[in-house]
Amino acid sequence: HANDRLTSRGYIGRLLRAGINTISWKSTLPKTVSISSRDGELQAAIHACKCIIGFGILLRDLGIHPGGPLPVYSDSSATVDCVNSDMIHKESRWNSIRLNWLRQQVLDRLVRVVWVSGDDMLADICTKHLSSHQKFMETRALLMNLKYRFTEFCGRR
């Protein structure tokens, strides 16, 4: 949240994975300042939904869409609750158009927004300093589908 010191905007990131393979990722600075982490996470979820909807269209054209809504993972329980509720928090009224757009994608069964714990949020590698070098290397190995473990890598130095 507000990790760009010049503009007070917070970086958002997304990862698109097909099975265990990472096929697309992006880290960006949104055009607007978020007044809360909840609203920043909402912006990130919208950017991820746009990407996954496009990917879903490609899968349908290729005849390999798994059927049903594609998952969009968020480590923000407030974002997941807002998407799955008809209520809009009074401090998010200015963001209601974005929220309603995301809700419509869920109602149209294009996506489903799913909560995951912060420890399991792989997209954090795009926006945050991970807690340790080991955590970074483990996440990188997972995302790059590498065959070796971090401890084996350190042993070869």
The pLDDT tens digits of the residues spanning 42-77 come to: 888 888 899 999 999 999 999 998 889 999 988 888
120: confidence class by pLDDT, cuts 50, 70, 90: confident
* Percent of the residues in the chain that have a pLDDT greater than 90, as a whole number: 20
Are the C-beta atoms of 22 and 143 separated by less than 8 Å?
Answer: yes
Query: Considering all CA atoms of the chain, what is the largest pairwise distance in Å, rounded to the nearest integer?
Result: 55
Cα–Cα distance for residue pair 71/110, rounded to 1 Å: 9
